[in-house]
Amino acid sequence: MRVSFLASLLVLFALPSAAHADTIINASSTGWCDSSSSCDTSSLNGGIANNDASTDYNDFFTFSIPTGETITSATLNIWASDAYGVGHDGSGTYTLDQATGLSFSGLGSGTVLGSIDGASVSAGSAGMFDSITINAAGLADLNSAEGSGFSIGGTVGGSTLDVWGYTSGTPVAFLDLTTSPAATPEPSSLALLGTGLLAGISAFRRKLKC
C-alpha cells in the first residue's frame, strides 16, 4: 500500500508541462500623435515616428491580448513602408513604451518595452519587417493586460531617424507571442492519485488498530 501511495505522488509531480505555442496578433488600431498636439487614429495601415526639424511624431499600435495563456516571449513586427520608404542615418534609436494616453507625451512616457538601433531599421525595403523584442518588463505588462487592449507607443531619439509603418494590404504591425497555457492534470492521473491516497489512508488506519 505504501508503494502505491508513493507511486501516485510521483505521477502527480511527473505530469508533462504544457506545450509552448506561437500566437500572432495583428494590430487592431494604429496611428500617431505629433508635437503640435495633432493625432491620427483613423487608419489601420499607417504609423510614423520621427524627429523632424519642425514637428516630431510618436506612433502607436494597439493589440487585444488573449486570455488563459501566459506570454513567455514577444516580438513587435512593424512593416517597412512600401510607399514612402524609410530614411535613417544609423545614429538614432526607436524605443517602445507602454502608451499611457493618446497624446504625443502619452506615447513616449510609459514603461520602456524594448528598442531598436537606427542601423537595424529597414531602409525603404518593401516587404520587410522591423522586429523588436519585448523585454521582461514588457512581458509582465502584457500578461497583466490579459483579456483587454494593450497599446504600445514608439518614439525616436536621433535627428534624422524615421520609422514608417505603412502598407496597402498587409497588416502594418503584429505581435508574435510565445505562450504557455496553465497545466492541468489528466483525469486518469487524478484517478490514480486518488486511489493511492485512499490506499495510504486505509493502511494508516489499520496500523492504528494494531
For 139-175, the pLDDT digits (tens) are: 999 999 999 999 999 988 766 667 766 666 666 789 9
State the DSSP string of 115-155: EEEGGGS--S-TT-EEEEE--HHHHHHHHHTTTSEEEEEEE
d(CA 161, CA 177): 27
Q: Round to whole Å and give the CA distance between 68 and 177.
A: 13
pLDDT for residue 11: 45
Element housing 62 (H / E): strand 57-64
What is the percent of the chain with per-residue pLDDT over 70, rounded to a whole number? 59
Report the run of H or E that residue 23 belongs to, with start and end: strand 21-26
Domains and CATH numbers, the chain: 20-199 (2.60.120.260)
**Structure-block grid coordinates of residue 127:** 516587404
Amino acid letter for position 53: A
Say yes or no to pLDDT of 6 above 80: no
Handedness of CA 18, 24, 28, 30 (dihedral sign): positive
Name, in order, each residue with C-beta under 8 angstroms of 193's C-beta and a sequence gap of 6 or more.
8, 9, 11, 12, 185
Query: Residue 200: phi, psi to the nearest 5?
Result: -65, -40
Tens of pLDDT along 66-80? 999 899 999 998 876
Q: Is the pTM of this model over 0.85?
A: no
